[in-house]
Structure 1
Amino acid sequence: MTTFPALHRLLAAAALVAGATTAQAATITIACGASAPEIEHCWKHAEAWARKTGHTVRNYTQPASATAALAVYRQLFAAKSSDIDIIRVDVIWPGILKDHLLDLKPYSLGQEAEHFPALVANSTIGGRLLGMPWYTDTGLLYYRADLLAKYKRPAPTTWAELAATAAIVQAGERAAGQKDFQGFVFQAKSGESLTCNAVEWIASFGGGRLVDERGDITINNPQAVRALATAAQWVGSISSVGVLNYAEEDARGVFQNGQALFMRNWPYAWSLLESPDSVVRGKVGVSPLPKGDGPGARHAGTLGGWQLAVSKYSKHPEVAADLVMHMASAAVQKDRAIRGSFNPTRPALYKDPQVVAANSFMASLLGTFEDSVARPSGEAGLKYPSVSLALSNAAHDVLGRKATPEAAVRKLEGQLKLVRRERW
């Protein structure tokens, strides 16, 4: 837990000037994020709200791993702790945390209608609005535009094209002296990040979503096998074996240091790649992730993003809800998009000239955000963490040559049936 004494004194003075009493002021703890950029771009607006309202805000820095963060929140909620008022809710969490979150409809004044309907629906369970959309995500392909021009190769539209181009450029750059240059970096460390990558690979080959809309387990199919087999071919060839330990920031670090041609990552990486001290500033392009081949092949980026939710155990639910509405407002989302490349959840902002000028890829990839593939968290509900763990482990075993793709999907199918039992 991080506190800010100077800010506290400033707010206390402001409250006295405004005639507020100590009893009227509240202290609200908000989970701004896990990384320094997330916290910076969140805290700025939380501070602004505090100065305006006379309340005090504190930041809780959640674990970097979404899986670990969820575990922490579940422990706090099991104890009915009021230590955290506002949490960041991953798109896959509403069904898991639904019994512990405040219904925001009495406080939203209909603002949810201004956001992407799919995100609002994702946060609405049993007619209760459990989170306000804050920013949305989808998996994207980043590439070195300068190197593609150097080797006269187009941006790939299929995984086969990506592999072929990556091999050519990797060989050329290594021959030129960059011995550690990689063709492709992505997130292969076991965990939710690998789940997102695996969902993209499988969907891009027409292999479905593991669990379909009816709750049927569909993972054991030839397209899913082909997707995992394709990804396994990258490790040790166009990707180093070290990729098996990469999460998002590991991949970004390699790419931003000029040591990779292609990178799979989330939109947040754009502003960092374009920062003044970035080795690759002005040399990067962005496109949808490649598609596979065969029936049902498509471009597929995993739907990601975060909502802001209020704990049912907050001592100041009305005040916390007011801060959530401020953080999800059009003005805050616009500033975060311009300064941090956080994708707005309000479609209107994708036409804002200032937003587009700061993030040239946003307007052109709007359809990619809208057509993202969702993880089966809605169908699996409280059992989703077990579903994700099983998929992540299966994919990691295939990538690490510990299991064949055929054996992995058969085993995964059996594990999912055990998790589901009679029903999800």
Structure 2
Amino acid sequence: MKTKYLPLLGLAMLAPLAHSETLSISCGAVGAELQLCKEGVDAWAAKTGNTVKLVSTPNSSTERLSLYQQILSAGSTDLDVMQIDVVWPGMLASQLLDLTPYIKDQAEFFPSMISNDTINGKLVAMPWFTDAGLLFYRKDLLEKYKLPIPATWSELSQSAKVIQDGERQAGNSQMWGYVWQGRAYEGLTCDALEWVYSHNGGTLINDKGEVDVTNPGVIAALNQAKSWVNTISPEGVLNYAEEEARGVFQTGNAVFMRNWPYAWSLAQASDSPIKDKVGVAPLPKGGEDGKHAATLGGWQLAVSKYSQHPQLAADLVSYLTSYEEQKRRAIKGTYNPTRPALYQDAEVTTAVPFFKDLYDVFVNGVPRPSSISGDKYGQVSNLFFNMVHVVLADSMSPEKAAETMQKKLERILR
């Protein structure tokens, strides 16, 4: 069966093929996501005799959430299966199908991930792949300049400047020291939370539901990040999402990059200018007394409760999150499995050695404050990334931004 690419509008007017049902699924398109999704759904379609349409959605997680909310609030049947962010189950739960009767192998997944996707006793999504922020670095350039992998953000800043200046003098005028996700969207929430947590600044809202964004760790983190713009990071980084950062790094024009694991397989592709020149490490600490921090990411598969084929849609979710399909995606696209057994699979660890080396980073990532803020998380994150962006653009001091966030977050959570 061929996967059909169709715009969202007009899907409902298309009749299913004879002797089969037609499902629609939304997949991301960052890196190799779309191609791997297409291959997976094609395999399921061939196995079951059904047809699957891939519906394009924005790469920006913030824009994608808005689209999903519009579709679901309208009770639309245009989407059967949706790829949703790890922080969305609580926000979308009331309009998602309870998968409990359909998924029989829940015990084979990380318990914390199943727990994340279980809202009020209902399994509203299945973990498809997990993520944690990582530091990608040019190991050839660190060796050339006799510099170690940076353990702290200050060390990264210093090494990035030394190598950036040296490479520019050697002829690469496009070289930058560090690229990351600076656009005002959910990706900046992830990056900034890592800066804050690594400086012992907490996670914005503590376990008691108290807002805490004016502490010294928050101020230090924002000052540090602000200092990168136009020194070791281009001014344009304030418009970078994942792919923009990867584009600069993979063309050989950055020393360090913060990104998700998917970037590894693309950097190692046969046509990559930096093939075999890249290393991966935990993100730096916020100082000697700080700690390594990696925001927990990841994507789930959920079924709309408005789907006209709920059992079939749940079967597609079960197939795409199966051991063999997750193994294929791990080897081919560096997508972190949500099944612990795959981190011991020799074929997986041979293809992606850092899966085993950085296992603790992936399973102990820093959670965004989505559980504690519930359906208000969207407002919390939106405020946070916008205020951080204002600081990075040098339009407000970190102290003033923190005071503003404190007051507005407390108001949101009342």
TM class, shorter-length: over 0.9
| In 1, Cα distance between equivalents of 2:62 and 2:101 | 30
Across the aligned residues of Structure 1 and Structure 2, the Cα RMSD in angstroms comes to 1.5
Q: For residue 3 of structure 1, what is the aligned residue in structure 2?
A: none
- Find the counterpart in structure 2 of residue 92 from structure 1: 87
Residues 130-151 of structure 1: CA distance to partner in whole angstroms, max 9, x if unpaired? 1111000000000000000000
Matched residue SS, 1:357: helix
Per-residue CA shift, 1:233-259, capped at 9, x if unaligned?
111111111111111101000000000
- The residue that corresponds to 2:266 in the other structure is 272
Give me the TM-score of the superposition, normalised by structure 2: 0.95
Task: Describe how 1:2-81 pairs up with structure 2 within 5 A.
Answer: 7=2, 25-35=20-30, 37-81=32-76
CA distance in 1, matches of 2:362, 2:30: 23
Matches of 2:58 and 2:253 in 1, distance apart? 28
Contact kept, 8 Å, 2:3 with 2:54, in 1: the verdict is no
**What is the alpha-carbon distance in structure 2 between the residues aligned to residue 294 and residue 159 of structure 1?**
10
Identity percentage over the alignment? 49
Contact 2:31–2:263 (8 Å) recurs in 1: no
Instruction: Work out the CA distance in 2 between the residues paired with 1:261 and 1:173.
Output: 10
Q: How big is each residue's C-alpha offset from its partner over 1:297-353, in whole Å with a ceiling of 9 and x where there is no partner?
A: 211111000010000000000000001000000000000000011010111111111
- Matching residue of 1:388: 381
> For 1:236, what is the secondary structure of its paired residue?
coil
Distance 2:210 2:115 in 1: 21
Q: How does 1:86-165 map to 2 (within 5 A)?
A: 86-109=81-104, 111-165=105-159
Q: What is the Cα deviation at residue 358 of structure 1? A: 1.1
CA deviations on 1:108-153 (whole Å, 9 max, x unpaired) are 11x1211112111110111111111100000000000000000000
TM-score by length of 1: 0.93
Matches within 5 A, 1:376-415: 376-415=369-408
1:290 aligns with 2:267: no
How far did residue 24 of structure 1 move? 6.1
Cα shift at 1:394:
1.2
* Residue number among 197, 217, 220 corresponding to 1:226 in the alignment: 220
Match of 2:365 among 372, 384, 395: 372
Match of 1:309 in 2: 302
**Which consecutive residues of structure 2, in runs of 5 or more, have no partner in the other structure?**
5-15
Matches within 5 A, 1:169-318: 169-293=163-287, 297-318=290-311
| Structure 1: distance between partners of 2:83 and 2:17 | 28
> CA-to-partner distance for each residue in 1:369-420, whole Å, 9 max, x for gaps?
0110011111111111111111111111111111111111111111101211
Residue type at the aligned position of 1:384: Y
Residues 107 and 321, structure 1, Cα contact 8 Å, conserved in 2: yes
Query: Residue 294 of structure 1: CA displacement?
Result: 6.3
Q: Which amino acid aligns with 2:397?
A: T
- Distance in structure 1 (CA, Å) of the matches to 2:344 and 2:246: 28
In structure 1, which of residues 315, 335, 339 is the aligned counterpart of residue 332 of structure 2?
A: 339
Deviation of 1:180 (Å): 1.7
1:204 counterpart letter in structure 2: S
Query: What does residue 353 of structure 1 align with?
Result: 346
Amino acid of the residue matched to residue 399 of structure 1? L
Amino acid at match of 1:30: I
SS of corresponding position for 2:67: helix
| Separation of aligned partners in 2, 1:333 and 1:22 | 29
SS at match of 2:218: helix
> Which 4+ stretches in 1 moved above 4 angstroms?
21-24
Secondary structure class of the residue paired with 1:169: helix
| 8 A Cα contact 1:134 1:307, kept in partner | yes
Residues 77 and 8 (structure 1), Cα distance of their counterparts in 2 relative to 1, 3 Å cut: closer
Aligned residue type for 2:90:
G
Moved more, 173-182 or 315-324: 173-182
Across the two proteins, how many residue pairs are aligned to each other? Answer: 403
SS at the partner of 2:202? Answer: coil
- Structure 1 unmatched ranges of 5 or more: 1-5, 10-20
Displacement of 1:35 in angstroms is 3.4
Q: After alignment, is 33-42 or 48-57 more displaced?
A: 33-42
